[in-house]
C-alpha cells in the first residue's frame, strides 16, 4: 500500500472516530462540550454502575421514560446531572438527594433526535461518575405542538398533582404526575413556561432533596423518587412564572 | 490505490443492484380468493416494509383488492401480481385501517375507487404524512415516490354485494379505533385486518384499550369463518390465532396492571420476562416496549389520585 492509499484510508476512517473520547460506551461528538459546560471540565470516569435505563428507541419522542439509578453510590452522592447530548435543550435535571432520599430518579423527557443520554453523579470525593445510554428516535419531540394546550380547560388543571406512595422493601417510592405544559420556547409563539424547581420535604418542612428541572422534561411531568422511612412527605414545585404547587405523599 | 477504486466501484454496483423487487407471489387460498403474505419481521431496509398480508377477491366482473401495502412500489407490484392471475379489471380497493403498511400503496390504485370506514379516512388524513415520513426512515429507498392518497369512498358496516359476491363488513375499533374486518360469505375467508396478529406480536398505537380489542375478537370469532387471514402472520383454518391473541392481550394487560399497582417505572416494565409460550411470537420484546409507551400512562393514572393541596 502506498502513501496515498494510506492517506485515503485514513480520511475514510476519520469521520467514524471524529471527536469521541476513549472509553466512552456510546459514540458521541458532544461529550467534550458538555463535560466542559456542565461539569466544568472536572475529573470524571465513565461508570457502568451509574445505570441509565431507557428503551432502545423512542416510541413517543415527546414522552421518553428514563430512569437514573446511582444506588451503587448510596450515601456518597452529592449531585446527579442528566442530559440528552444532542437535544436543543440538553439538560434534564440537577438532583441533590439528601441522606434520606435514594440517588435514583425516574422522569419522562422529550428528545429531538437519536441521542446519547448521560447521567453524571458527583460523589463526595469530587469525581463525576458518568453513566451513559443511547436512544434511537424518529425525533421531533422538542418541537411538536403542545398536547396540553390543545386540551380545553388546561389552565384550570395547572399544577394539579396525581400521585401515589408505594411501599418497597426498605423504602417508599413516590410517583407523581403534575399537570403543566412545560413549554420549552421551541414551539412557535409560545414562550418558555415550565416547572424549574422542586423540593421534597418531610412533615416538619425539612428539605430532603432538591431538584432543578429543565424544559427538556415532558409535558405533564411524571416523576418518581424513593425515600426512606414511613413519614409523610411534601413535594413543593415552582415554575418559571412563579406559580407554586404543593402535594402531600 | 487502484484496488481501492475497484472496491469502491464494486460497492456502488452492489447498491445499484438492489432493484426493489418485492417478489410478490399471489397464493390462492379459496375459490377466487388470493393472498400475498408478508413476513412477520419488522420494517427494514431488506424487506421494503413487506411485513403485511394483503389480498384480493376475483369476482365475476372484476377484482376487489384488500389493502395496498407499505409503498407506491408495493402497490404497483400488487397490480402486476393481480394481472398474472386474472385478466379482469380491478374494481375497487378497500382498506382495513389507516396504518402505513396497509395504505401507502394507494397511488397504484388511483384509477379506481378507494374505500374505507369514515374514521379510517379521518385518521389517515391526520396521521398519514407523519407515518409515511417514518416509513422513509425505516425502509429507505423502497419508499421512493410514495405519497399519502386518501380514500374516495366510505364503507359502512353491514352486508354488501360486490359483483354477485356477498361480503359482510364489520366496523370495529380494537386496533386503531377504526378497523374493518371483511368476511367473504361465499368462501368463508375472513380478512381480519390487524385485529388479528398471528405468530407476530400485536401493535398498539391508537388502540382505544385492550378490553375493547378483546370484545372485538369475540365478535370476530363468532362469525361463520372457514379460514382466517390475519393482518400479519400465517393464514389459519382453526381458532388458534384467536386463542393466541386473547392470551397475549391478557398477558399484556396483566403486566401493565400489576406493574402500575406496584409502582413500576416504564423503564422497568419494558424488561419483564416474556412467557415461554410466546417464544414463537415474532417481535414480542420490541412490541412490548412500544405498547408500554402507548398504554402504561393509562394504567398508571388509574392507580393514582389527586395529592395536591
* pLDDT tens digits, one per residue of B179-202: 999 999 999 999 999 999 999 999
Q: Which three cell numbers stand for residue A157?
A: 388543571
Mind listing the pLDDT tens digit for each residue in B42-65?
899 999 999 999 999 999 999 999
3-state secondary structure of A186: coil
Q: Classify domain A45-248 by CATH architecture.
A: Sandwich (2.60)
How far apart, in whole angstroms, are the C-alpha atoms of residue B49 and residue B30? 26
Q: How many Å lie between the alpha carbon of B309 and the closest alpha carbon of chain A?
A: 6
Q: What are phi and psi of B278, to 5 degrees?
A: -100, 15
Contacts of B238 (CB under 8 A, 6+ apart): none
Cβ–Cβ under 8 Å, residues B74 and B68: yes
Cα A55 to Cα A14, A65, A133, A200: the distances in Å are: 30, 7, 9, 27
| Percent of chain B whose predicted confidence (pLDDT) is above 90 | 89
Note the ipTM here.
Answer: 0.89
Cβ–Cβ under 8 Å, residues A103 and A208: no
pLDDT at position A21, please?
82
Cβ–Cβ under 8 Å, residues A103 and A70: yes
Cβ–Cβ under 8 Å, residues B274 and B284: yes
pLDDT in tens, chain B (309 residues): 556 655 555 554 455 445 789 999 999 999 999 999 999 988 999 999 999 999 999 999 999 999 999 999 999 999 999 999 999 999 999 999 999 999 999 999 999 999 999 999 999 999 999 999 989 989 999 999 999 999 999 999 999 999 889 999 999 999 999 999 999 999 999 999 999 999 999 999 999 999 999 999 999 999 999 999 999 999 999 999 999 999 999 999 999 999 999 999 999 999 999 999 998 899 999 999 999 999 999 999 999 999 998
Q: How many Å lie between the alpha carbon of A243 and the closest alpha carbon of chain B?
A: 14
Q: Using a CB-CB distance cutoff of 8 angstroms, which residues of chain A are in contact with residue B300?
A: 175, 177, 222
Beta-carbon neighbour count of residue A151 at 10 Å?
12
Q: Which three cell numbers stand for residue B218?
A: 369475540
pLDDT at position A6, please?
62
Show the domains of chain B with their CATH numbers. Answer: 17-239 (3.60.15.10)
Give the DSSP letter of residue A150.
Answer: G
pLDDT at position A2, please?
64
**Alpha carbon A149 to chain centroid, angstroms:** 23
User: What's the angle, vertex CA B104, arms to CA B99 and CA B105, rounded to 5?
Assistant: 135
Place of cell 473520547: A21
A144 at B interface, C-beta within 8 A: no
Phi and psi based region of residue A242 (left: phi greater than 0; alpha: psi -120 to 50; beta: remaining): left
Q: How many Å lie between the alpha carbon of A160 and the closest alpha carbon of chain B?
A: 6
Detail the DSSP E strand segments found in B189-266. 189-197, 227-232
Dihedral of the CA atoms B134, B135, B137, B142 (nearest 10)? Answer: -160
Q: Which three cell numbers stand for residue B295?
A: 398504554
Beta-carbon neighbour count of residue B69 at 10 Å?
31
Mind listing the pLDDT tens digit for each residue in A21-57?
888 999 899 999 999 999 999 999 999 999 999 999 9
Q: Which three cell numbers stand for residue B130?
A: 407523519
Partner residue facing A138 (CB), from B4, B137, B305: B137
Residues with pLDDT less than 50, chain A: 15-17
Residue (of A129, A132, A125) closest to A44 by Cα position:
A129
How far apart, in whole angstroms, are the C-alpha atoms of residue A240 and residue A183? 10
Residue (of A125, A41, A238, A140) closest to B129 by Cα position:
A140
Q: Using a CB-CB distance cutoff of 8 angstroms, which residues of chain B are in contact with residue A224?
A: 263, 265
Amino acid at each position: 500500500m502506498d502513501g496515498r492509499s494510506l492517506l485515503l484510508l485514513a480520511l475514510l476512517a476519520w469521520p467514524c472516530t471524529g471527536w469521541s473520547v476513549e472509553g466512552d460506551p456510546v459514540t458521541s461528538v458532544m461529550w467534550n462540550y458538555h463535560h466542559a459546560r456542565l461539569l466544568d471540565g472536572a475529573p470524571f470516569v465513565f461508570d457502568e454502575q451509574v445505570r441509565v435505563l431507557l428503551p432502545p428507541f423512542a416510541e413517543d419522542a415527546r414522552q421518553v421514560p428514563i430512569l437514573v439509578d446511582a444506588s451503587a453510590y448510596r450515601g456518597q452522592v452529592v449531585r446527579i446531572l442528566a442530559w440528552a447530548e444532542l437535544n436543543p435543550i440538553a439538560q434534564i435535571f440537577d438532583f441533590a438527594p439528601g441522606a434520606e432520599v435514594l440517588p435514583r430518579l425516574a422522569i419522562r423527557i422529550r428528545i429531538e433526535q437519536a441521542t446519547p443520554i448521560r447521567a453524571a453523579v458527583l460523589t463526595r470525593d469530587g469525581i463525576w461518575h458518568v453513566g451513559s445510554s443511547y436512544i434511537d428516535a424518529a425525533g421531533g419531540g422538542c418541537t411538536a405542538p403542545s398536547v396540553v394546550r390543545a386540551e380545553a380547560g388546561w389552565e384550570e388543571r395547572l399544577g394539579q398533582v396525581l400521585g401515589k406512595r408505594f411501599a418497597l422493601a426498605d423504602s417508599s417510592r413516590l410517583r407523581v404526575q403534575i399537570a403543566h405544559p412545560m413549554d420549552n420556547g421551541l414551539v412557535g409563539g409560545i414562550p418558555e413556561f415550565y416547572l424549574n424547581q422542586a423540593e421534597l420535604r418531610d412533615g416538619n418542612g425539612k428539605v430532603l432533596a432538591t431538584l432543578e428541572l429543565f424544559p427538556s422534561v415532558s409535558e405533564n411531568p411524571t416523576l418518581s423518587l424513593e425515600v426512606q422511612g414511613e413519614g409523610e412527605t411534601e413535594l413543593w414545585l415552582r415554575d418559571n412564572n412563579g406559580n407554586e404547587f404543593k402535594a402531600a405523599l | 490505490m487502484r484496488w481501492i477504486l475497484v472496491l469502491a466501484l464494486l460497492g456502488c454496483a452492489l447498491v445499484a443492484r438492489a432493484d426493489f423487487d418485492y417478489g410478490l407471489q399471489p397464493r390462492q387460498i379459496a375459490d377466487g380468493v388470493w393472498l400475498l403474505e408478508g413476513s412477520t419481521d419488522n420494517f427494514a431496509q431488506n424487506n421494503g416494509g413487506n411485513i403485511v398480508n394483503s389480498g384480493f377477491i376475483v369476482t365475476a366482473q372484476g377484482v376487489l383488492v384488500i389493502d395496498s401495502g407499505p409503498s407506491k412500489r408495493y402497490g404497483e407490484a400488487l397490480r402486476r401480481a393481480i394481472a398474472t392471475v386474472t385478466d379482469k379489471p380491478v374494481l375497487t380497493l378497500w382498506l382495513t385501517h389507516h396504518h402505513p403498511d396497509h395504505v401507502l400503496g394507494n397511488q397504484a390504485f388511483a384509477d379506481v375507487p378507494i374505500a374505507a370506514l369514515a374514521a379510517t379516512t379521518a385518521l389517515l388524513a391526520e396521521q398519514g404524512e407523519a407515518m409515511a415520513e417514518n416509513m422513509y426512515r425505516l425502509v429507505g429507498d423502497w419508499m421512493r415516490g410514495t405519497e399519502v392518497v386518501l380514500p374516495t369512498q366510505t364503507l359502512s358496516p353491514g352486508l354488501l354485494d360486490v359483483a354477485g359476491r356477498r361480503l359482510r363488513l364489520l366496523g370495529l375499533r380494537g386496533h386503531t379505533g377504526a378497523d374493518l374486518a371483511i368476511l367473504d360469505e361465499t368462501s368463508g375467508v375472513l380478512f381480519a385486518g390487524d385485529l388479528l396478529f398471528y405468530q407476530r406480536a400485536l401493535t398498539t398505537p391508537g388502540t382505544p384499550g385492550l378490553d375493547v380489542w378483546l370484545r372485538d375478537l369475540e365478535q370476530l370469532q363468532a362469525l361463520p369463518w372457514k379460514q382466517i387471514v390475519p393482518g400479519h402472520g400465517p393464514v389459519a383454518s382453526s381458532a388458534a390465532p384467536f386463542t393466541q391473541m386473547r392470551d397475549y392481550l391478557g398477558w399484556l394487560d396483566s403486566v401493565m396492571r400489576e406493574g402500575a399497582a406496584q409502582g413500576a417505572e416504564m423503564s422497568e416494565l419494558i424488561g419483564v420476562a416474556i412467557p415461554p409460550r410466546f417464544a414463537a411470537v415474532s417481535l414480542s420484546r420490541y412490541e412490548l416496549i412500544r405498547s408500554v409507551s402507548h398504554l402504561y400512562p393509562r394504567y398508571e393514572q388509574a392507580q393514582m389520585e389527586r395529592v395536591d393541596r
